């Protein structure tokens, strides 16, 4: 970068794009954030947003997720009354079958120092409220007290206010943008209407569109993106505070007293038509509502408020794709399933790389060039 104020363009209005834009502005860059529609209109607007590093993954990925959670702890201290960011733990149990993995997961989490408690069904109510103890399988449940959740649209709104105060520019409803390349470096971005924005650096954070856009530049990133469904209930009286991950449904509270729900089986029931459109059956929605009621104390009647459906970004192999594109100066990317947990730290590290020109060691194992 030169000594003048660097020009950076970020494409994508989800948590990765907005976080990166804010961190760039904090570091003194002149930032333009481009979104195809409204901010948080994609995967960030329909995410369970569970803040965690539970289960087994690579050491580097676990470390990055734990640092990501740490950044949310710092944010929580700055917004102590926030209803959109909570650390009330997570509770997980598995199906009552031979493949039940709770004991192995608990042993792994204890071995790596991840705070975990193995609870019998009759112990759950004393540790975290709102759960139907009879729904917990005989192998028990793992409670992870350090976990939490974030409402990403609320967080994105907070970050966008900061971006404006720092002088950043938001161009929403801009349609599909493309990255302008020449001589193995970025020149800027071309908007859907033909407008060209010059830039020293471009950060691509378009969620499920990342693999397609990188392919246009000759770079392949494996893509395992499914179509997901996130159901939101109407506000309901429940004592639930933790994020629940159960064999048939995942549940978390929302800032307005409702619940959001998803599952693996509901993803598989999405109907994908030959023209690329997709739909979800009412039976799937009602099934999620029933499954959620079954794991909540008192089995409250849950009413549908609405649902979001669309691609959920998942790179091939499951681990994030973060950092500069090999061989194209100034072109950086963020593509990951764990958008909520990594949202703040990924934006911070990407901004640091853009501003210093130096690769950050925490991103070493996640760079796009590992697929070449």
CATH of the domain at 212: 3.50.50.60
State the total domains in the chain. 2
Question: Quick count: other Cβ atoms within 10 Å of Cβ 80?
Answer: 7
Asked if the structure places residue 77 within a domain, the reply is: no
Residue 274 binned pLDDT confidence (cut-offs 50, 70, 90): confident
Among the candidates 311, 332, 349, a domain finishes at 311
Mean pLDDT of 26-39: 97
Residue 82 inside a domain? The answer is no
Whether residues 184 and 158 fall in one domain: yes
Question: In terms of domains, do 235 and 206 share one?
Answer: no
The residue from 311, 339, 360 where one domain ends is: 311
Question: Could you tell me if 232 and 178 lie in one domain?
Answer: no
Domain holding 277, by residue range, is: 87-147+224-311
From 311, 335, 362, the end of a domain falls on 311
- Mean pLDDT, to the nearest integer, of 120-147? 98
107 and 121 belong to one structural domain: yes
Q: Answer for the pair 311, 226: CB distance below 8 angstroms, yes or no.
A: yes
Contact (Cβ atoms closer than 8 angstroms) between residue 308 and residue 227: no
165 and 289: one domain? Answer: no
Taking residues 94-119, report their average pLDDT: 97
The pLDDT value given to residue 4: 72
Residue 2 has pLDDT above 60, yes or no: no
Q: Does 330 lie in the same domain as 183?
A: yes
Asked whether residue 160 falls in the same domain as residue 290, the answer is: no
DSSP class of 28: T
C-alpha–C-alpha distance, residues 84 and 197, integer Å? 34
The CB-based long-range contact list for 358-366 (8 Å cut-off, 24+ gap) reads: 359/323, 359/324, 360/323, 362/60, 362/63, 362/64, 362/67, 363/322, 363/323, 364/60, 365/58, 365/60, 365/61, 365/319, 366/60, 366/61, 366/64, 366/319, 366/320, 366/321, 366/322, 366/323
The structure tokens listed for 61 are 């990925």
Q: Are residues 33 and 142 in the same domain?
A: no
Residues 281, 174: one domain? no
- Tally Cβ neighbours within 10 Å of residue 289: 19
CB-hemisphere CA count at 13 Å for 20?
34
Residue 73 in any domain: the answer is no
The CA-atom distances, in angstroms, between 248 and each of 255, 263, 367 are: 23, 6, 34
Residues 282 and 137 in one domain: yes
pLDDT tens, position by position, 299-344: 999 999 999 999 999 999 999 999 999 999 999 999 999 999 999 9
C-alpha angle 172/175/177, rounded to 5°? 100
Residues 183 and 228 in one domain: no
In a domain, 163, yes or no: yes
How is residue 40 written in tokens?
């948080």
Residue 211 zone, left/alpha/beta (φ > 0; ψ -120 to 50; rest): alpha
Q: Are residues 216 and 143 in the same domain?
A: no
In this structure, what DSSP letter does residue 136 have? Answer: S
Nearest-angstrom CA–CA distance, 102 and 243: 17
């Amino acid at each position: 970068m030169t000594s003048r104020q660097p020009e950076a363009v970020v494409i994508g209005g989800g948590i990765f794009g907005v976080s990166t834009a804010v961190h760039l502005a904090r570091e003194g860059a002149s930032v333009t954030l481009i979104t195809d529609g409204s901010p948080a209109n994609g995967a960030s607007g329909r995410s369970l947003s569970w803040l965690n590093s539970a289960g087994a993954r690579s050491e580097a990925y676990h470390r990055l997720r734990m640092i990501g959670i740490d950044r949310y702890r710092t944010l929580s201290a700055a917004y102590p009354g926030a209803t959109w960011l909570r650390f009330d733990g997570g509770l997980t149990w598995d199906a009552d079958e031979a493949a039940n993995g709770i004991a192995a997961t608990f042993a792994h989490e204890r071995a790596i120092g991840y705070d975990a408690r193995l609870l019998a069904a009759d112990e759950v109510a004393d540790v975290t409220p709102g759960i139907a103890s009879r729904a917990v399988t005989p192998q028990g449940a793992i409670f992870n007290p350090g976990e939490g959740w974030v409402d990403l649209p609320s967080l994105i709104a907070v970050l966008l206010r900061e971006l404006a105060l720092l002088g950043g520019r938001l161009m929403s409803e801009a349609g599909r943008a493309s990255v302008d390349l020449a001589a193995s470096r970025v020149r800027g971005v071309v908007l859907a209407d033909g407008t060209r924005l010059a830039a020293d650096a471009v950060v691509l954070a378009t969620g499920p569109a990342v693999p397609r856009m990188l392919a246009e530049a000759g770079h392949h990133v494996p893509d395992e993106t499914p179509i997901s469904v996130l159901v939101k209930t109407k506000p309901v009286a429940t004592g639930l505070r933790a994020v629940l991950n159960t064999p048939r449904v995942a549940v978390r509270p929302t800032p307005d007293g409702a619940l959001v729900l998803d599952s693996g089986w509901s993803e598989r029931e999405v109907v994908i038509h030959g023209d690329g459109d997709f739909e979800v059956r009412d039976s799937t929605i009602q099934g999620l509502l029933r499954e959620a009621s079954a794991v909540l104390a008192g089995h409250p009647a849950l009413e549908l408020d609405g649902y979001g459906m669309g691609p959920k970004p998942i790179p091939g192999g499951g681990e994030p794709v973060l950092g500069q594109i090999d061989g194209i100066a100034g072109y950086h990317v963020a593509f990951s399933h764990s958008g909520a947990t990594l949202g703040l730290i990924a934006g911070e590290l990407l901004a640091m790389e853009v501003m210093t020109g130096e690769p950050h060691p925490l991103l070493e194992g996640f760079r796009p060039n590992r697929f070449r």
